[in-house]
Amino acid sequence: MVEQSENMYGGTCPNVGCVPTKMLVHFASGKRLSDDAQDYFANSIEQVRALTSAFRAGNFEGLNGKASATVLTGTAAFTDPHTVTVGEGADAIDVTAPTILISTGSEPVVPAIPGLKSSSHLVSSTDLTRNAALPERLVVIGGGYLGLEFASMYQNFGSEVTVVESADRLLPREDEDVAQSVTNVLLGDGVEIVTGAAITEIHDKGAVSTVTYVKGGETCTVEGSALLPATGRRPVTADLRLDAAGVQTSANGAVRVDAQLRTSQPHIFALGDVNGGPQFTYIALDDARIVIDQLYGDGKRTTDDRVAVPHTLFVSPALATVGLTETEARARGFEVKVARQNVADIVAMPRAYAVEETRGLMKFVVDADSDLVLGAAVHSVDAQEIINTVALAIRHDVTATELRNAIYTHPSSTEAMNEVFDNIVG
């Protein structure tokens, strides 16, 4: 195994992705008004560093400690379809193998906004999970999943946060009522949200940067001591010399793969973000299952097997979704029924009151003809857990009536489905 950085054994998730960010979400939601914002944040970062360091060491030893595995730290590039060279000059090592897996992940895209790349206040999500200094004013460029997670998190830590989004509203792929539920929570927490805005330039002025944008024909500005571009990620392939291996890529640099994750070279596979698929840790894990099945199993597992893959946006409370939105379902010609209820109105969900988090809503889209669940959006405490139950129900044709009548533990968040599905209309 070749890893270019000693700080990245185990990949993005345990080092700079899921684990540190969700740990920070947890700490941010636990901050009290009496806590000193800077001290509390610095202590949170220190605890994150301790955990990620432990995970990283465990990931390294988990492989390097095996007689059958060798871990090389350095940059790799192909020299032919079966060989990669690790390192440069006299220290270079050639590694040859009959099977090669590419899993180099993705990296943030910095948009071509005049003054942004050269700004001394430009930060990445990685920087924010490692720097112990809490930004006084954070400007998030883009209102997607990553941008909103950091906006929610840092506002709760005590930063002044502004989100600048080019679309007319946040989360344009979600139904409007769902997106509005998230927007209302963020606004209620103090996040400033600017939508329909086109950023034209950025200028540094000492301790802050001035972000200039146009909204509705009017030129406006906002200042930030930290600028976080959250406008997407691209596959990391530029320095792999894939041409030397005969591996084809798409226009955005992603490695082209088939349903078994084979590249244009049948013995080379591409897993995770680098192949241009959905950028989630659990998709990369399933990619690994597919490749293992190709190498050691019956070779039947493919990406086509994926049905009802859930997603979670870790604002506070989280938004978890799966399947079709109401808008998508109607556009596809389904006769739709909708079960929708604000969390604060769900009597059968005392857990929300017990943990003092009654914001959000639950929405389920149901096929009126078959009673099957077509999709769901859960914006509530424990949403990331509830959605897994709904996804499993979709995969196995469990009806809305069955979910309504099921026996759930009490007090739990899942039992809210007893009530919400009882209020289905359409």
Coil, helix or strand at residue 231? coil
Question: Two tokens at 154?
Answer: 């840092």
Q: What is the DSSP letter of 306?
A: -
Return the bridge partners of 57, or none.
none
| Burial of residue 368, with CB atoms counted within 10 A of its CB: 0-12 exposed, 13-18 middle, 19 or more buried | middle
Distance CA 269, CA 315 (A): 34
> Is the CB of residue 322 less than 8 Å from the CB of residue 308?
yes
Per 3-state DSSP, what percentage of the chain is helix, strand, and coil (rounded to 5)?
Answer: 35, 25, 40
Query: Catalytic residue among 26, 203, 267, 410, which?
Result: 410
* Total length of the chain: 426
Q: Check if the beta carbon of residue 81 is closer than 8 Å to that of residue 246.
A: yes
Nearest alpha carbon to residue 8 among 53, 51, 66: 53
Considering Cα of 397, then 403, then 408, then 413, what sign does the dihedral take?
positive
Q: Considering only CA atoms, give the Rg of the chain.
A: 23
Instruction: Look at strands 137-141 and 76-80 and give their pairing.
Output: unpaired
Please report, as a single letter, which amino acid is at residue 341. Q
> What type of residue is 224?
G
Q: Compute the distance between CA of residue 421 and CA of residue 340 in angstroms, rounded to an integer.
A: 8
Residue 366 β-bridge partners = 337, 373
- Both tokens assigned to 407: 């026996």
Distances in Å between the Cα of 256 and the Cα atoms of 79, 264, 299, 303 are 19, 7, 19, 13
Looking at residue 333, its amino acid is G
The question of whether 203 is a catalytic residue gets the answer: no
Residues labelled as active-site residues: 410
